[in-house]
Amino acid sequence: MDIINTLLNIVVPPIGLTSLLFFLPPYLFFKFLLSTIKPLFRENVAGKVVLIAGASSGIGEHLAYEYARRGACLALVARREHRLQHVASRAMSIGSPDVLIIPADVSKVEDCNRFVDVTVNHFGRLDHLVNNAGIAPICMFEETPDVNNLAPAMDINFWGSVYSTYFAIPHLKRSQGRIVGVASSAGWLRVPRLSMYSASKTAVISFYETLRVEIGDEVGITIVTPGLIESEMTQGKFLNKEGRLVLDQELRDAEVSLMPVLPVKEAAEAIVDGACQGENYLTVPAWVKQSFYWKVFSPEILEWGNRILLMSRSGDERDTLSKKILDISGLKDLVYPDTIRSPWIREH
């Protein structure tokens, strides 16, 4: 067996690289042609049923509005019932024929079973499942006083997607529906203080890619990997090392630094467009996808750059080179939308 693996180690790399160079140009050309045709066959979601988990703010809230504009019926899930009522009212006013709100915690398997059942019992079907619920612990891994403080990242970001998908699949198969899994470009970008967030989003991507292999074309799966999008997270709301939700815009500036933040309305429109066009992968804004190729071909350079720009040498995690550049340059007004420059944020 060692001889076989030794032989494969010698033979496979040159054959694999040659095959890739031969196959890649026609494949990319085919994908380009397909991208020009897909808009002609865009799914009409008017009257269809869309369940959105994590619909009380940010991307999930604006996905609700975007689906509503297209005439979809909505089931909105989140823990904050008062926020869901606000989102539901606005969604009805801009075109949704029926909106159901279901207060629930996606980290609890029984809640996920319940909100899928309630949705199907109310509407009689389910066409799109949008898993958007998420939370971001931001701290150096070794500095958290209790490693259990980081558990919500996996419980909400990963298991929340797994649980709801498990209960929704039978209904989505009947409608030949679609799952929209909102992961993150942090699934391949390794940024300090986001170790558990990145791990949870990498897990989400891997889960949906494997599920796509298992179920084939019975249910469509769109994996969304946003960059920095206007949201409560980019406003500075996250879990600190003690496991408490806090608002810390100084640390937000150190983490986000000079990266431009995309207005959430534009992101939501692009995501719903991508889902309705049957995209397998979607990165918003699109330019962020280029960082994936840096990750594949030169990971050391990417890691070195993130360490230089985003790590503090003084021991103060808010004292990073990237934040100094942001403060000195005065670029915050240019790269941050108005809503995330304000210290105001919605209540938990």
pLDDT in tens, the chain (348 residues): 689 999 989 999 899 888 888 888 888 888 888 878 877 788 999 999 999 999 999 999 999 999 999 999 999 999 999 999 999 999 999 999 999 999 999 999 999 999 999 999 999 999 999 999 999 999 999 999 999 999 999 999 999 999 999 999 999 999 999 999 999 999 999 899 999 999 999 999 999 999 999 999 899 999 999 999 998 888 888 899 999 988 888 888 888 877 889 999 999 999 999 999 999 999 999 999 999 988 988 999 989 988 888 887 777 777 888 888 888 887 777 777 766 655 544 444
**pLDDT at site 283:** 96
CA–CA separation, 234 and 8 (whole Å): 47
**Angle between helical axes of 264-276 and 58-69 (0-180°, round to 10):** 60
CB contact set of 40 (below 8 Å; sequence gap of 6+) = none
Residue 94's Cβ-side half-sphere holds a number of Cα atoms within 13 Å equal to 16
CA–CA separation, 177 and 145 (whole Å): 44
Sequence-ordered strand ranges (E) for the chain = 49-53, 73-78, 99-103, 128-131, 178-182, 220-224, 237-239, 245-247, 281-282
**pLDDT at site 30:** 83
Please state whether beta strands 128-131 and 237-239 pair in parallel, antiparallel, or not at all (unpaired): unpaired
What tokens does 263 get?
Answer: 């207005």
The superfamily in CATH containing domain 42-341 is NAD(P)-binding Rossmann-like Domain (3.40.50.720)
What pTM does this model have? Answer: 0.91
The β-bridge partners of 224 are 182, 282
Q: Please, are residues 112 and 163 in contact by the beta-carbon 8 Å criterion?
A: yes
CA–CA separation, 282 and 273 (whole Å): 10
Q: Please, are residues 132 and 157 in contact by the beta-carbon 8 Å criterion?
A: no
CA–CA separation, 323 and 329 (whole Å): 10
Sequence-ordered strand ranges (E) for 83-191 = 99-103, 128-131, 178-182
* Annotated catalytic residue within 67, 163, 197, 208: 197
**pLDDT at site 347:** 46
What tokens does 289 get?
Answer: 């996808």
293 is catalytic: no
